[in-house]
Chains A and B, each alone.
Chain A
């Protein structure tokens, strides 16, 4: 006799419940308190941990960039330049090093960083001179001082 489906009074029961539970608990073993042992508490903690790690992966980039900027600012202040002046003048002199590499150079290659700061300072001064122009007054403009009596 061929039977295609089981009879209604036959139930199927889980045989690998232990391994399904271990799959979740293995990520909770280093937690504190009962959530490293009890499945019901661990499920919630592990879920929050995963969500937090995905969000942190996006924030890590912002955090690291802020850290590099702080380090470059500190190093350029040691050489007498502020961070916006340093970065803008480096870019205007067509030196395209990113903040990660600049921070590494500031830590491990101080002489190179000093030369980069000098380059930025020189470009800044040239920019000031270029902004001043000739030093003459434009034509057709007269200046006078108003006297109030």
Chain B
């Protein structure tokens, strides 16, 4: 068949590496990272956590403020379970979409439960004698992230 403009796709041809060699390479990388984790040769860990319908990038000794109420008293320790990503200087563990609970542990303490500053909500239509003013005060919670720990159980 003769060559037309549609015989070959418009993107450049790509060749994936050999699956057997790739599997060996992957196993090697996983072994190395497991070794690093079990030896404890990482510095500060950071994690991306899904909490209060938002995603946060957190490290140790971090402060987080949420714009809602948490059903925990001040001083309670909380474990955050939905971890999306954990990383250190040399390696990152990316979850698809979440990482296992036996792999990462993120602990936080509830520090403060306050209200936000009074925000003014005003609506006004000119020439229609319409104005409404409302003061909105949201409850807020402040958490301090105590620790992020990883355990060497990769496969």
Binary A-proximity of B91-131 (CB < 8 A = 1, otherwise 0): 01011110000000000000000000001111110000001
Q: Which of A80-115 contact B (CB under 8 A)?
A: 93-98, 100-101, 104-105, 108-109, 111-112, 115
Interface stretch of the complex, out of A11-19, A34-42, A59-67, A125-133: A125-133
Q: A70 near B: Cβ within 8 Å?
A: no
How far apart are the CA atoms of A119 and B56 in the complex, in Å?
Answer: 22
Identify the closest chain A residue to B96 (Cβ): A94
Q: A47 near B: Cβ within 8 Å?
A: yes
A71 to chain B, nearest CB (A): 14
Which of chain A's residues have a CB closer than 8 A to the CB of B121?
Answer: 50, 54
Binary A-proximity of B4-19 (CB < 8 A = 1, otherwise 0): 1000010100101000
Q: Which of B20-49 contact A (CB under 8 A)?
A: 46, 48
A145, B2: Cβ atoms closer than 8 Å: yes
Given A47-B131, A97-B48, is A115 in contact with B94 using a C-beta cutoff of 8 Å? Answer: yes
Total A-B contacts with CB atoms under 8 angstroms apart? 72
How far apart are the CA atoms of A52 and B42 in the complex, in Å?
Answer: 48
Q: B87 near A: Cβ within 8 Å?
A: yes
Q: B57 near A: Cβ within 8 Å?
A: yes
User: Dominant SS at the A interface?
Assistant: helix
Interface size, A (range):
20 to 34
Which of chain B's residues have a CB closer than 8 A to the CB of A115?
Answer: 92, 94
How far apart are the CA atoms of A95 and B84 in the complex, in Å?
Answer: 8
A94, B55: Cβ atoms closer than 8 Å: no
A122 to chain B, nearest CB (A): 8
Identify the closest chain A residue to B14 (Cβ): A125
B16, A51: Cβ atoms closer than 8 Å: no
A54, B94: Cβ atoms closer than 8 Å: no
Which of chain B's residues have a CB closer than 8 A to the CB of A105?
Answer: 48, 57, 85
Given A50-B133, A115-B94, A128-B11, is A97 in contact with B16 using a C-beta cutoff of 8 Å? Answer: no
Which of chain A's residues have a CB closer than 8 A to the CB of B122?
Answer: 47, 50-51, 53-54
Partner of B55, one of A54, A100, A129, A131: A100
28 contacts between A and B (CB under 8 A): A47-B124, A47-B131, A50-B122, A50-B133, A51-B123, A51-B124, A57-B119, A94-B96, A94-B97, A95-B96, A96-B97, A97-B48, A97-B55, A97-B84, A101-B55, A101-B57, A101-B85, A105-B48, A105-B57, A111-B89, A111-B92, A112-B92, A115-B92, A119-B94, A125-B16, A129-B16, A131-B9, A145-B4
